[in-house]
Chain A
Amino acid sequence: MVRSLFPRDMFAELDRLQRDMQQAFDLSPTIRGVGRHGFPALNVGGTPQTVEIFAFAPGVDPASIQVDLDRGLLTIAGERADTAGVSEKPAASGAAGSASTVHINERFSGKFRRAITLPDDADPDAVEARCSDGVLHITVQRRASTQPRRIQIQ
């Protein structure tokens, strides 16, 4: 039984469906906003001794990335230049002031910030960050006092 051709706005319905799906599949919803699809993309993992964070930030100068740690909250912030921008392009390609056309613009540009809550046993004094080929790798040591150990019997 069809009552109306457009009972509701179809796009709003699709929007709601997508939101429901995302909430159902997102295993780690966080109070600090969108957990996924941000820039830089994050992979987080751990070994018994360390917490390993990989931030995929291609095209960002490693010196301009700010990594802050405040009471167990690790923040990665910075800015990525807009390569599809119109102002600098003609000069860089030597095209003597001629206009350039952007055909595809999929890459992220602008300011970014992402935050990760570190586990309780992470040692804020033993953080190491390395950057190579556009991947920022942060290693946080776990506290020695939380390492598994055998207790001697007196």
Chain B
Amino acid sequence: MNDSNISTASPSGVARSAGAKAQGSRYSDEALTPPVDVIEDANGITLYADLPGVTRDTLHLHVTADELTIEATSSLKVPQGLQSSHTEVGLGRFHRLFTLSKELDTAKVTAELAHGVLRLRIPKAEHAQPRRIDIKVA
């Protein structure tokens, strides 16, 4: 399930539109920081992020040359007239920013979303991958 929402545009425009959408509330710009796992191997970096209640449509990933932004909104349906008595997840927005290093190939990022967990794979650029140098016999 590849996500089609990966954009390479500047995240500033999207951040502005998201802020305008959730206006009025004092906490409209507040967002939770989702916990992540980041694992690196020889060919690239894999990132897992917990985004409960987030669907494909409400997840926005922005990749520039040196930054990765995860912006997501929980699309949880709450029954009418619900009176909350105990709250541990008090916000429905997630936001996290990572600085990428230059050996990562941001054009080849792939993303999957399953059961509220985002799996992001950022491969390393061809020239940055470890390789063996052939020795020519003169």
Q: Bin the interface of chain B by size.
A: 35 or more
How many chain A residues have a CB neighbour from B under 8 Å?
Answer: 43
| Stretch of B7-15, B16-24, B75-83 contacting A (4+ beta carbons < 8 Å) | B75-83
A44 interface residue (CB < 8 Å to B): yes
Contacts of B1-57 to chain A: CB distance below 8 A:
35-46, 48, 50-55
Q: Contact: B87 with A43, CB < 8 Å?
A: yes
Interchain CB contact (< 8 A) of B82 among A52, A56, A94, A107: A52
Determine the chain A residues whose CB is within 8 A of the CB of B80 once the complex forms.
47
Q: Contact: A133 with B54, CB < 8 Å?
A: yes
Give 13 A-B pairs besides A41-B89, A44-B84, A107-B36 with Cβ atoms closer than 8 angstroms: A45-B86, A48-B81, A58-B115, A59-B48, A62-B115, A95-B42, A101-B39, A103-B45, A133-B53, A133-B115, A134-B51, A134-B53, A135-B76
**Measuring CB to CB, which residues of chain B are less than 8 angstroms from any residue of chain A?**
35-46, 48, 50-55, 74-76, 78-89, 114-117, 121
